[in-house]
Amino acid sequence: MATFQKAAGFKFKNIELLNLSFVHRSVSNETGCRVNNERLEFLGDSILGAACATLLYQKYAEKTEGDLAKIKSVAVSEDVLSSIAMVLQLDTMLLLGKGEELSGGRSKKAILADTLEALIGALYLDSGYKTAFAFISRCLAPEIDRVTENDYHRDYKSLLQEVCQRYYRTYPQYRLVKRSGPDHEHMFWIEVSVNGAVYGPGIGRNKKSAEQEAARMAYQAVEHEITG
């Protein structure tokens, strides 16, 4: 717990509250004990939403309510939250029932995202909104930047690189397969190699979009392989 808190950048006064944020409902289902992290998850979801809305309101004065809503929906999505949870290594902290453990619960995006929300709820109760907001800001600000830089879509190149580093200790390699069309209407075909497997080609009107498409294919395939 001490190592985890140091890496996450906070310190709980009530360690039992921190521990509770990692107790999945599968534990209570199997043991009969009703105590789990679902109430903390409920609270954390609201705190996360408020913090994200505040970050967007402060940073993007020129954007409309509709634009802010689009960014927020991606920034607090299950995909993004589970990715943050993996970076924080919440998968190693989870307390799961035997059945959920055997079915690969530690890698399930829904469980990881819910655990992050429970952690936020616990941090809010333990140390107040200011501390919870600071933690959310550290985790979410880079994701918000990625979303806005990619026209409110996920940055699959960054996601793929994170997965490759975490599971394969390597980096994805992109290769231009083909380019066609006149100068003003180029189309690019790009493949990406991950741990010996090749995915794609991703096709786009420029190299960046073609790489993003190839990365999307690879990320989804690798994620499916990891999570089963």
* Residues with catalytic roles: 45, 117
Q: Say if CB 207 and CB 189 are below 8 A apart.
A: no
How open is the CA angle 85-87-93, to the nearest 5 degrees? 55
**Long-range contacts formed by 198-201: CB under 8 A, 24+ apart:** 201/177
The tokens for 5 are 């808190």
Residues facing residue 192 across a β-bridge: 174, 199
Alpha-carbon distance of 95 to 100, in angstroms, equals: 10
Q: Is the dihedral of CA 126, 132, 134, 139 positive or negative?
A: positive
Question: Token pair 């954007």 is at which residue?
Answer: 63
Name which of 146, 194, 139 is nearest 166 in CA terms.
194
